[in-house]
Structure 1
Amino acid sequence: MDINWGLIWPLIGLQIILAVTALISLYKAEPEDIRGSKLMWVFIILLISIFGSVAYFVAGRKNT
């Protein structure tokens, strides 16, 4: 099976950019501005790949 790295590298880059952006946002957020604990969101962002970062932006932050 031949892997097409031309398609995989952009996805890896997107995953890294989303994770770093989510972690920076989480770091700067006040505890009352997020749902759940910061530690829980760090694990979700890092362990659930792209979906963890998206979940943080969609469900983790409270609308202020």
Structure 2
Amino acid sequence: MSGLRLFRTDATNSGMTEVVPCLAEIEADVQGLVEAHMEMLLGVRFLAGEYGTGSVHGGRID
């Protein structure tokens, strides 16, 4: 495996543990994770998961 490796400090801050990557089963898993941590990741407050686009477009946007 090549590329950037990620690490986190352990509970006592005396060492490091590598973060093991994993793939999400479905997009909703990733969406939920981002929504739960949006303020920390992007500095914005989460309002809602999806908005309806109304009768003209008849869809949803994230």
TM over 0.5: no
Higher Cα Rg, which structure: 2
Q: Name the TM-score class by shorter chain.
A: under 0.3
RCO higher in structure (CA 8 A, sep ≥6): 1
When the two structures are superposed, what TM-score results if normalisation uses the length of structure 1?
0.27
Higher relative helix content: 1
